[in-house]
Amino acid sequence: MTTAWSGILPKGKSGGDGFYYLLAAMSGALTGWLDIKVGDLLLTAMVVLAANMLLGFLSPRRPWRWVLLVGAFVPTVEWLAYFYLTQKPERAQIYESFLAFLPGIAGAYGGAMGRGVVDNLFGKK
């Protein structure tokens, strides 16, 4: 049984994604910290977009994983900062951090499709 996405997204290699999971967790935590320190939602969105695009390009199989990992760490770090740090983000800033999922979707799937284009252009013949 094939799906509509089978021809669009590349298959990729099987297994060995532990490094990419660690990279996604670190990117999400760094983005959450950046959102606390700077407080600019647009900068946060651009960093999430870039991180997910890189992860989608490096490991194009099932790009939704990178959206969930990077996007979930941003509000988690904000929530932890609210309870444990002296510099408290506003409550609205914590709720705004859930918007990081939207550019994450575009970045992860865009990176995966970009990898498919590169593989088609420069792949083995």
pLDDT digits (tens, 9 = 90+) for 28-48: 999 999 988 898 889 999 999
Q: Higher-confidence residue: 86 or 106?
A: 106
Look up the domain containing 48 and give its range. Answer: 17-91+112-117
- Supply the pTM of this predicted model: 0.81
Q: Is residue 43, in this structure, part of any structural domain at all? A: yes
CA dist list (Å): 106 to 18, 49, 67, 114 = 23, 7, 9, 12
Q: Is residue 52, in this structure, part of any structural domain at all? A: yes
For residues 57 and 110, is the Cβ–Cβ distance under 8 A? no
Q: Is residue 11, in this structure, part of any structural domain at all? A: no
- Rounded to whole angstroms, the Cα distance separating 114 from 2 reads 21
